[in-house]
Amino acid sequence: MKFKLSSPFKERAASTIFLVSALASILFVALICVFLFANGVPAILKIGFTDFLFGTEWAPTDEPAIYGIFPMILGSLYVTLGALAIGVSVGLLSAIFLARFCSERLHRVLKPAVELLAGIPSVIYGFFGLVIIVPFVRQHLGGSGFSIFTASILLGIMILPTVISVSEAALRAVPNSYYEGSLALGATHERSVFFTVLPAATSGIVAGIILGFGRAIGETMAVILVAGNQARMPDGIFEGVRTLTANIVLEMGYATDLHREALIATGVVLFSFILTINLLFSILKKRVVK
Which residues within the stretch 97-116 sit at the binding site for another protein (CB under 8 A)? 97-98, 101-102, 110, 112-116
Among 117, 169, 183, 288, binds another protein (CB under 8 A): 117
- Residue 82 is a binding residue for another protein (CB under 8 A): no
Distance CA 110, CA 164 (A): 11
Angle at 136 between CA 72 and CA 221, to 5 degrees: 40
8 Å CB contact between 67 and 52: yes
Nearer to another protein, 141 or 283 (CB): 283
Q: Which amino acid is at 129?
A: G
Q: Residue from 191, 199, 286, 287 that binds another protein (CB under 8 A)?
A: 191
**Contacts of another protein in 200-219 (CB under 8 A):** 211, 214-215, 217-219
For residues 136 and 97, what is the distance between their CA atoms, to the nearest angstrom? Answer: 29
b vs e for 237-249, b when ≥16 Cβ sit within 10 Å of the residue's Cβ? Answer: bbbbbbbbbbbbe
* Residue closer to another protein (CB basis): 101 or 238: 101
Q: Which is nearer to another protein, 81 or 110 (CB)?
A: 110
CA distance 156 to 28: 31
By beta-carbon proximity to another protein, the closer residue of 148 and 157 is 157
Among 70, 128, 178, 238, binds another protein (CB under 8 A): 128
- 225 sits near another protein (criterion: CB under 8 A): yes
> From CA 247, how far away is CA 186, in angstroms rounded?
56
- By CB under 8 A, tell whether 58 contacts another protein: no
Site string for another protein, 135-154 (x = CB under 8 A): --------------------
Q: Which of 151, 174, 277, 284 binds another protein (CB under 8 A)?
A: 277
Contact residue for another protein among 43, 165, 245, 284 (CB under 8 A): 245
Which residue among 28, 49, 54, 254 contacts another protein (CB under 8 A)? 28
User: Taking the complex as a whole, how short is the minimal distance between the CB of residue 116 and another protein, in angstroms?
Assistant: 5
Check binding of 19 to another protein (CB under 8 A): yes
* Residue pair 44/69 in contact by the 8 Å Cβ criterion: no
d(C-alpha 28, C-alpha 3), whole Å: 40
Told to check if 15 binds another protein by CB under 8 A, we report yes
Of residues 212, 220, 226, 48, the one with CA closest to residue 132:
226
126: nearest Cα among 243, 15, 14, 37: 243
Supply the minimum distance, in Å, between the C-beta of residue 163 and another protein.
10
Strand, coil or helix: 253: coil
Stretch that binds another protein, among 50-58, 63-71, 142-150, 157-165 (CB under 8 A): 157-165
Q: Is 42 in the site for another protein (CB under 8 A)?
A: no
- Per the CB < 8 A criterion, the answer to whether 226 and 146 are in contact is yes
Cβ count within 10 A of residue 2? 3
CB closer to another protein, 92 vs 148: 92
